[in-house]
Chain A
């Protein structure tokens, strides 16, 4: 909220400069986000009085004025018609600057002009250039016009927290400054009604006392709608409020000053002199001040007359009852509407105004609304004429006024950790207008002022004490606690380990948004009915919770490819979201990685080696093994649409389905304009982390030497090396220690549909050194078995 320093000074003497004040406000909980200096668009303009006006001898349209500034009299040539002798006017003397132009002594049609009289337009404070700005009669000459008009000011932009609606006004901030600088407010904050006001027959019917506990109205007759006085216009504009007409400006002015939104109705539009505060009927409509036709629901609180709605209570007036140029008689409204109701209406209508903002946070439910209406009435009287009737104040309840609260000093100590005695608490609270009396038992009975609607419990008082004392007054202490065992959670330490392994193998961790484009999901065939959508997404790109990490990773690959980084190893360890069969929302942590492009980014002798599936398979196996899971196998799976139909495998850990590994479907590469094949694994991390890990026990080394025998053969391309190895192991698991594939070859010299496979078998016994003969016996069995099991020829 914007606050004017000079306006605050109407209510308080401030002895420190604006920047020091800003710092103090910030440290007391009113965070000053910005301090800006307002400067006039001109300089060197002073007030002067016109002594005489004579016709210019050589020009019909011009006149010659003698203008007095202090003891000096200047001759000025002027073209405006609205000036009279004895008028006070702004005079730009030679050396003054008006909208960037320097004023000089000049000769106009043979007559010397020692300056220039100014209009509001020339001063940059209005758009009226037809006439000179006429200043009030009672001012001295020689005043700096910028100072006089209040054009030099400091504007604070303060972040008012939602609990402090009492600070949404100049007086509210002034009160706060008074409290923190421990200096009194200049008293005349409260306004007494004008005793001359007569009664008026007006019927106020509050049908929803739950939503409107108090409604004050005042009728003012004989007003003349016109421009606002310049000083008011300048103040409103300095805080970002556009000037409309004197009456409307005054309601805004009083709202800014006192925090109480007011509304002015054209009295003649009110049927039967009756104000009804009621809920809207279903289907009821109102055209609001902004010209919108608004359909209302039955929860909306309305200000109506006996026939029709006049305003959306607390939010915006109706255009049919608004004050216009022809208005002569007005009804001023100053009311208390319940915050939740106004907030609901404002949300439903998607209409937030200065008024609704204050009501939904909670205006002062006490007598401030009367002070505000009287203040407005007196301003109207002086700026728009007319005479007021007595204010009609209808009170339904006082339930919003803060209650009496008991404050215990031992509780203050228990929460704040510092002894603050009863007397000190009383003094501190007194500074923010809280009256209190001491109880015999040592407690304080505190009465918060009505504007502190946020103070309703003991803890609220404790907060105020801490705030007024200053947070820096509390020491920094470490709690004394009972020891207890704290270790990093198993899942988190596994996650860290997995990330480290991937990092050490060249993988970059990415973090993608959890929401994704439904269009992108469609590319992957993931646009199924188990998706979770966001009701109010910011964009289509972020409208669905991702059911898989893959689309995000592929988008990362695409993004980096477009930036000429096509060789990529990335992974993500994060949640995916979907609904299961019973529509329950599932959050599932996944570990997905993909790689594509060159194997080495800095190779000078293997520069064109491309990554392949076995690079990624090795990483996946490394991770799984390091977690103490020995049993990894690959299964045929129901191939997801996004995987290569012939190169995609289910990943089984200890026989449990944990994810998949393979190559991304070339169609997707094509759609996303990615040239190299992409290899991908996706592991259900929740499942992976929960799989029982093998305990590690020391095994003594083998005592007897091993001997290797190689064997190579052609075999049908479809036969898996793993199957061959499994079969060999069954022949003699006591003496066959290990089997490795050491060569795989297809192509020249190999029959079509076959591959050449070479295995190295390691023979060893735990009991003795095997003889050549013993080994040959087993090896022959191996060859025989392979020949019969697989249609192959050992070479």
Chain B
């Protein structure tokens, strides 16, 4: 199996690489690249993302043919893709961090700043929070409801179709923290930094 972590200069992806390396232990061919050919021949794709929505979208767009290739992989060919943090947020039609920015438009919705109730809650939302699993999700196999995951973000993805929501977490409001739509998976939290539970989610994705 070929698994590709898309490296599009979206900030620090070392932890994503380390965690996937740990989980797969050489049993799958793990590539870290933005090479279009390699992405096309992948069985699974991981789309990480750190920094702002705008900077990630800009980086993605700056690599010739990358967005089209990812779309073909995820939307046309319906192969499994996992978006992490801003990688998930980019599924949206539009994001409002820094400036209004067009997203990939794979799952209708928008990315807006977490309502922290006029400063009552600190932002970023940093640290360990419990997830409430909202629907059966293939990547949550053997993950207990109310498991702790590591978060660090100030923006959240709000999909139009609520049925794609697979988990939420309680902060200043109920924050949507995982989505699943057919072959598309996304987590706002960082499975790569969420200890053994997080590694299990990665393992579930690899075993899809």
Q: Does chain A bind chain B?
A: no
* Chain B residues within 8 Å of A, Cβ to Cβ: none
